[in-house]
Chains A and B, each alone.
Chain A
Amino acid sequence: MKLVFLGRFRELAGARLSDVPLPAGVRTLQGLQDWLARTEPDLAVALTGARTQVAINQTLVRDPAYPIGDRDEIAFLPPMSGG
């Protein structure tokens, strides 16, 4: 799967997480977040902010039970600030 970290999340994640095989047992967004909490605890803490949003295949997703597969692109978006 492809993981995309934007803004300050990208600086925390670096390039090491951009293309990773779907971890064993991960089937949902919640599963992915649990996996990140185990393998990347510092990053996972940063991602849990109240205004963090997640896009799966470029669509905003709020449901933690949303299914995730190995061909998906999952993006973590810090609070947005345009204009």
Chain B
Amino acid sequence: MPNNIVKVRITEQAFDPALELSAFGAGRQDTGALANFVGYCRDMTAGRRVGELTIEQYPGFTEREITRLANQVSRELGTLDLMVVHRVGAIRPGEAIVLVAALAAHRNAAFEAVRLLMDYLKTDAPLWKKESGPDGVRWIEPSAHDHARRDQAKEKSGEKV
């Protein structure tokens, strides 16, 4: 049985989710399910027009922390490979911000892993988002809803992240 791989990539370049997925899990024969999620930059949010989103990282720390969160999810849900690609820098509406993909033997673990990892990323990934548009510039912080979701997910899994 091949080793399970957790692959995290932080990139300043635009990426093509389909291309990233094309080689994911290649060569494995124990995979029963692949689930994935792609988050995109929207041109409108809460009634404001978005010209550009800028995401800042803390180099080194950010990749390590996301890897830690992904490993946690992999252990909790018993997935096979996990992949995270996250943009940083200046992002235009229509471009992909984040790709999360999970391989598992069965569909439920794959679906759950993607959802749980996204919940963790929303509140625990060391990334900082700034939105700019005709109405000005504002830093975005996770909502109470995001924190509630994350706490709920944590409680459900019974683990400390």
A interface with B by C-beta (< 8 Å):
4, 6-8, 10, 51, 55, 58, 75, 77-83
B58/A75 in contact, CB under 8 A: yes
Q: In whole Å, how far is B28's beta carbon from the nearest beta carbon of chain A?
A: 26
Q: In whole Å, how far is B47's beta carbon from the nearest beta carbon of chain A?
A: 19
B124/A75 in contact, CB under 8 A: no
User: B128-158, CB under 8 A of A: which get 1 and which 0?
Assistant: 1110000000011110001000000000000
Chain B residues, Cβ within 8 Å of A81:
122-123, 125, 127-129, 140-142, 146
Residue in A10, A51, A77 whose beta carbon sits within 8 Å of that of B126 in the complex: A77
Taking A80-B128, A81-B142 as given, write out 6 further A-B residue pairs in contact, using a Cβ cutoff of 8 Å, ordered by the A residue number.
A4-B58, A7-B130, A10-B56, A80-B124, A82-B121, A83-B125
Residue in A6, A8, A83 whose beta carbon sits within 8 Å of that of B58 in the complex: A6
Instruction: List 9 A–B pairs whose Cβ atoms lie within 8 Å, in order of A's numbering.
Output: A6-B58, A6-B128, A7-B128, A78-B141, A81-B122, A81-B140, A81-B146, A82-B126, A83-B118
Among B124, B128, B140, B146: residue with most chain A CB under 10 A: B128
Among A6, A7, A78, A81: residue with most chain B CB under 10 A: A81
B126/A83 in contact, CB under 8 A: no
B interface with A by C-beta (< 8 Å):
39, 56, 58, 60-61, 64, 66, 86, 97-98, 118, 121-130, 139-142, 146
B128/A83 in contact, CB under 8 A: no
**For residue A10, which residue of chain B has the nearest CB?**
B56
Tell me the dominant secondary structure on chain B's binding face. mixed
**Complex Cα gap A78–B130 (Å):** 12
A82/B58 in contact, CB under 8 A: no
A82/B125 in contact, CB under 8 A: yes
Residue in B61, B66, B124 whose beta carbon sits within 8 Å of that of A58 in the complex: B61
**Complex Cα gap A64–B72 (Å):** 27
Chain B residues, Cβ within 8 Å of A79:
123, 141-142
With contacts A81-B122, A83-B118 taken as known, whether A58 is within 8 angstroms of B128 at the C-beta atoms is no
With contacts A8-B128, A82-B86, A82-B98 taken as known, whether A77 is within 8 angstroms of B58 at the C-beta atoms is yes
Q: In whole Å, how far is A79's beta carbon from the nearest beta carbon of chain B?
A: 4
With contacts A6-B56, A7-B128 taken as known, whether A78 is within 8 angstroms of B97 at the C-beta atoms is no
